[in-house]
Amino acid sequence: MIIHPLSEGQFTVDQTKVFVPFDASQHQLTARPAGSLLVEIQPFVVITSQDVIVLDAGLGYRIGDELQLHRQLRAVGLQPEQVTKVILSHLHKDHIGGIAYTDQSVVHPSFPQAHYYVQREELHYALATPTASYLPALLQWLSSYER
């Protein structure tokens, strides 16, 4: 088994649940709103003899026209189409933002060959409880995606 981190970088987040990129060489934490937390968005890819598994899908940030998560996968020699499973620890936006992307108003799975694993009860809860921690459009997509 091989495990690679797929860092999306450091961010601060406050009560608004807006993730703001943070670079310690350019930013000061004290300049961020009171109560801001410094977090590292860190999905992982686990390679086994049978599967390529993505653990959480990060925020879904893009670099140019490419998902940062896809770029990180390519950096370790993998293509998004090689991912066989995506396991979501929970459904907050910093864990599911990269599960799908929109191109010309069409939503595409970020990992088209993968089965997505999610806790059914949490999905029902997240769909019924709109808060700034969730991405409703992705939750709807996830609830209807069949693979």
Domain spans of the chain, in order of start: 2-141
What CATH class has 2-141?
alpha beta
φ and ψ of 41, to 5 deg:
-90, 115
Q: Cα–Cα distances in Å, from 78 out to 43, 46, 83?
A: 15, 11, 8
Give me the pLDDT at residue 25, please: 87
Q: Enumerate the β-bridge partners of residue 20.
A: 12
Give me the pLDDT at residue 105, please: 83
The more confident residue out of 25 and 76 is 76
Whether the CB-CB separation of 65 and 78 falls below 8 Å is answered with no
Q: Cα–Cα distance between 82 and 69 in angstroms, integer?
A: 13
Contacts of 74 (CB under 8 A, 6+ apart): none
What is the overall mean pLDDT for the chain? 92
Q: Which helix (H) or strand (E) holds 121?
A: helix 120-128
Q: Cα–Cα distance between 118 and 120 in angstroms, integer?
A: 6
Q: Residue 100: which pLDDT band, with cuts at 50, 70 and 90?
A: very high
Contacts of 25 (CB under 8 A, 6+ apart): none
Structure tokens at 96: 């599911």
